[in-house]
Structure 1
Amino acid sequence: MNEPTGYAVFFFPPALEALGDAIKPYLQDGPAGPHVPCREVDTAGAFIELTLEGRTPDGREVELELMVPGNMVRMIVSARSDHGFGFATRSRPMLEPGMQDAAPAEAPVAAKLGA
């Protein structure tokens, strides 16, 4: 699977206020609100580590790592480049884990055998 993937990290409004100007260069606006797009997310530990790709003013590529307290993050969404980002209707409803699709009603086996 060589398709580019990434994550959109959404913060609680009080977290954005607390982080202030320090987080603003990394935020992007979207239909679901401001978020930080990143290549990798590491949620192990008290801080969530976000790995971003960026460019210096002279055009060099750099890798940035932001670490924020876990209680500031509202939601992390995996985003794929081959699909639109956001919410969409599904062609089939999602099922609870362990449930099977409802099969069309069939005649009982005994009726098929002529019993």
Structure 2
Amino acid sequence: MTTSGYIVYLFPPAIEALGAPALPLMQKGEGEGAEHFFVCKEVDTAGALVELTIEGKDANGQVTDIELMIPMNMVRMIVSAHGDGAGFGFRVRTPEEMATAPANLSL
């Protein structure tokens, strides 16, 4: 099964500004100091507003897509979460890639 999506972190004042209506759409990490974040199926950053597509449930318990638009300046970080190895982010590099990497690159 392929799982993919994005994790979107906001600046703390943005979470406070969005308030109670946004909290049911967010998840919270575990442990002390854990932060709230959105888990999104899609993220569109093509304008002044960031469009987040979040999987939710309607009043009847049916799965539905929720589209949330927030100002770009609220977003602190977007992380790609692709279980199939696609997308951007950290990955294991092959020995061939390591051999051709610049000497000053230590990733």
Same fold (TM over 0.5): yes
- String of CA shifts for 1:11-44, please: whole Å, max 9, x gaps: 0001111111121011101256210001000000
Contact 2:4 2:84 in 1 (8 A): no
Are residue 101 (structure 1) and residue 91 (structure 2) matched?
Answer: no
Aligned to 1:41, the other structure's residue is in SS state: strand
Distance 2:72 2:101 in 1: 37
- The alignment covers a number of residue pairs equal to 93
TM-score (norm 2): 0.71
* Cα distance, 1:4 vs structure 2: 2.3
* Cα distance, 1:59 vs structure 2: 2.2
* Cα distance, 1:57 vs structure 2: 3.6
Among all aligned residue pairs of Structure 1 and Structure 2, give the percentage whose two residues are the same amino acid: 49
Aligned to 2:14, the other structure's residue is in SS state: helix
* Cα distance, 1:63 vs structure 2: 1.0
Distance 2:102 2:64 in 1: 51
Report the aligned-residue RMSD.
3.0
| Runs (5+) with no aligned partner, structure 2 | 95-99
Distance 1:4 1:36 in 2: 16
The one-letter amino acid paired with 2:14 is: A
The alpha-carbon distance between structure 1 residues 58 and 45, as it changes in their structure 2 partners (threshold 3 A), is same
Equivalent position to 1:55, from 54, 57, 60: 57
Question: Which residue is 1:96 aligned to?
Answer: none
Aligned ranges 1:27-38 → 2 under 5 Å: 27-30=26-29, 33-38=35-40
- String of CA shifts for 1:73-114, please: whole Å, max 9, x gaps: 00000112368xxxx8x678xxxxxxx4368xxxxxxxxxxx
Question: Which residue is 2:97 aligned to?
Answer: none
TM-score (norm 1): 0.67
